[in-house]
Amino acid sequence: MSVDSTFRLNPRRRRHPARSAAVFLCFAVVAMSPPRARAASAPREMVVAESAPAAQAGLAMLKQGGNAVDAAAAVSLVLGVTNAGSCGIGGGGFMLIYWAKTHQLYALDYRETAPGAARADMYMRNGKPDEDLARTGALAIAVPGEVAGLDAALTRFGTMKFAQVAAPAIKLARDGFALNPHLAKEIAFVAPMIQADPAFRSVYFTTDGHPEPAGAMIYNRNLAATLTALGDHPAANFYHGTIAAQLAGFVKAHGGILTAADLAGYRPLWRDPIHLPYAGYEVYTMPPPSSGGVVLEILGMMATGQVAGLGVDSPPYLARLIEMMREGFIDRAQYADPAFVNVPVAALLSPAHLAQARDRALHHMAAPPGAAAHDHGTSNFAVADRYGNVVDVTTTVNTIFGAKLAVPALGVVLNDEMDDFGVAPGVPNAFKLAGEKNNEVAPGKRPLSSMSPLIALKHGRPALVAGGAGGPTIISGVTQIALDVLAFHLGPAAALNLPRIHDQADPDMVFVEASMPPQTIDQLRAMGYRLKLVPELGAVNAITIEAGELSGAFDLRKGGGAAGD
């Protein structure tokens, strides 16, 4: 049985207060619909993604005999077409894989890197930092990793050639797709910044210059041609030759520093996943420069004290979670690219440190503020195949439509991943969060990311796969879904339906979804918490896996699809 949930529903401490408005704005554009989820169940295989066509493309690969990695590549490429404000081959990401044949987990890092000419002071102008240069325009562009990452995953684990998994994306870009409501809102939101750009104007705007409305047919035939030209040797054809020359030439013409040599030198990295036991599960995630370790730290601090006995989303439970979340974000300041900085992950996840951080949180002891994550234009999806393999991918171009530049001849939206570095110590990024020394710009360095794909094992087999989108709310959202499923034993749809909270230590403000019950909000305020009610916080996708049943749910905070067989 195949179920696409588009068509069938299957029920089942005071700092910088002035920054809160800007942070709220970044959170609010994630979506504007009431918190809810849609789900599908199937006995053998499942794909959930932030796009119904992407979920269907992944399922099509599985039905053709492909595995979860083949499906993941197809989903990634379709998302780059239908959700181009969030991700695409001009960006990068992380892939977490459970491989049933070896009973092992693998972590693939294809995060973007700083160009070779990048310098820590590259955004200083007249002795002052100009953070806008890291967010918009050619100096914001880091070396894309998406194509290299998908090629590496297919080469190691796939059974299909790139041209085969790219076929659904090529067809949608060439023949058109219906503009989804989320992308339509994103286009309208950034229209003043992109409507004059010929590449964006030709794809996303009407002939008289207005943003296309939801439901309009969108065509990106130049992107279709680029994906076709990648053939069965995508990394070779993207990072060398004509495409690389066009991309580098475009960036140079617009005042950027990314070169053909930077593209030719890019390499994805296989890393060892990090993990921590929680409630009888072994929870795995990506190591730095991901923020998966922060998720594990929060779970580790929540592991004692009979969390389930507090009641899901009860004021005592939320108060404890707020404090643990704050400590996790404070420790995040130690995270960065491990090739440049010694990140003490083992120490941060050690029983001794977890106990100290828990004690500090429960007794409201002062700790130094830390910077939180800040990539926003991000997409997540999960795949489980009939062979027992599971994959979770988070992929991004950073803020909406990245650097607000697209290469017209290629149809490729370029990232603004340089803003994920600390532009300068104390200088806020797109989420009004200050940069840290560990995460300063350096040639070839990968910026710190909030992306935190997660796979939880029970008795050595996958039981939950989850990931999220939405800047720092990825960390809090994935953590809360993990707690809801692993501690409270909720199904994925029920977990995604719950209102969420977010505390990132700086600013000293707890963000709460407005759908939280009023009495809960009143009790949290009575405890002394400064609350900011927001429409929604991020978006999470999840699949739970039991014998003979896969249950997948996508988050209507952003939209998408769930498809299974």
Q: Strand order in 549-555's β-sheet? A: 37-42, 549-555, 539-546, 461-469, 454-458, 281-285, 274-278
Q: How many helices (H) and strands (E) does the chain have?
A: 19, 24
DSSP state, 334? G
Q: How far is CA 252 from CA 139, 143, 191, 258, 423, in A?
A: 9, 13, 24, 7, 21
Alpha-carbon distance of 196 to 185, in angstroms, equals: 18
Position of tokens 């690389």? 244
Record the tokens describing residue 372, joined without a space: 């939180």
Alpha-carbon distance of 313 to 326, in angstroms, equals: 17
Half-sphere exposure of 303 (CA within 13 A, CB side): 21
Alpha-carbon distance of 530 to 42, in angstroms, equals: 43
The SS3 assignment for 424 reads coil
Alpha-carbon distance of 529 to 508, in angstroms, equals: 9
Alpha helices per DSSP H over 350-432: 351-362
Position of tokens 């779970």? 299
Q: How far is CA 95 from CA 118, 285, 540, in A?
A: 26, 10, 16
Q: Of 394, 348, 352, 397, nearest to 375 (Cα)?
A: 397
Are the beta carbons of 390 and 383 closer than 8 angstroms?
A: yes
Alpha-carbon distance of 340 to 442, in angstroms, equals: 9
DSSP 85-101: TT--TTSEEEEEEEETT
Q: How far is CA 239 from CA 90, 109, 379, in A?
A: 11, 17, 23
Give the active site residues. 378
Pairing outcome for strands 3-4 and 454-458: unpaired
Compute how many other C-beta atoms are within 10 angstroms of the C-beta atom of residue 437. 11
Record the tokens describing residue 305, joined without a space: 């004290």
Q: Of 213, 140, 111, nearest to 404 (Cα)?
A: 140
DSSP state, 417? G
Are the beta carbons of 441 and 119 closer than 8 angstroms?
A: yes
Alpha-carbon distance of 105 to 124, in angstroms, equals: 42
Q: How far is CA 18 from CA 376, 465, 528, in A?
A: 21, 37, 19
DSSP state, 341? S
